[in-house]
Amino acid sequence: MRIPVIAGNWKMNPPRPSEATSLALAVREVADNLPGVTTVVCPPTVFLADVRRAAGGGRLHVGAQTMHWEETGAFTGETSPAMLAELAGFVIIGHSERRQYDNETDEKVGRKVAAAVGHGLRPIAAVGETAEERRAGSTAEVIDRQVRAALGGLGRIGASGLVVAYEPVWAIGTGDAASGEDAQTVAAQIRAILRDLDPGGADEVPIQYGGSCTPDNAAEYFAQPDIDGALVGGASLKPDAFAAILRAAAELGPA
């Protein structure tokens, strides 16, 4: 029985800590009444402590948007998994914006996922193809490479806390979301790779869809057999929209 995981990626929003706290409180009010859903908000690193206090020990979980794989060292501007372990339970790794703008390679993603698990954090490992790769018919090849690289440092997948997010790059922030059928095709491929790597633990792993997920299309994704939640961008900054996505996940229940 996989519990749906709905994570809100706030990216570089909002601009002030008071707004981050208010947003977290609004989400917590909904999350506390939905025990069948794991609700996560991922604010900018500078707001993690504020948001953690706002979560207040309820059902709302806090996640970071990235991290380094080393515990300490001369890595200016970075945050280590040991630091995050005091502030968050989840961490997004390999988001396409990090891959595009910050040189987050497949090899770095794998090191980060392993480090997160080693420090008791639940990694949300993001994978997905670009528009060019999709047009070239390379989606399956890209997904296979990215998933295997992301999980290459794990001894086993079962009991690791891993979450995998399928986020087609062409759908992120564009309003051009994947269909439920297309998202399920990739999610099924991811599940097959997980079974290849760890037959006993593969079915424990929630697989999210991300990329222009809204209250209007969320239920279509959650109805798919291998999709267990969403990594939500813009809609996670709107309490009513995010609440609607959370309720859609709760209505469909565990896979």
Determine the Cα–Cα distance for residues 185 and 237; give it in Å rounded to an integer.
28
**SS3 state of residue 197:** helix
Determine the Cα–Cα distance for residues 147 and 125; give it in Å rounded to an integer.
8
Tokens read off for 52: 């953690």
Residue showing tokens 């469909």: 252
Residue showing tokens 């989606």: 139
Closest CA to 97 of 207, 11, 20, 213: 11
**SS3 state of residue 87:** coil
Question: Which one of the listed residues 68, 95, 97, 104 is annotated catalytic?
Answer: 95
Residue type, 233: G
With vertex at residue 90, the alpha carbon angle to CA 27 and CA 196, rounded to the nearest 5 degrees, is: 125
Determine the Cα–Cα distance for residues 166 and 71; give it in Å rounded to an integer.
28
Q: DSSP string spanning 123-172? A: EEEEE---HHHHHTT-HHHHHHHHHHHHHTT-S-STTS--EEEE--GGGT
Residue showing tokens 């970071």: 64
For the question of residue 19 being annotated catalytic, the response is no
For the question of residue 204 being annotated catalytic, the response is no
Which positions are annotated as active-site residues? 95, 167
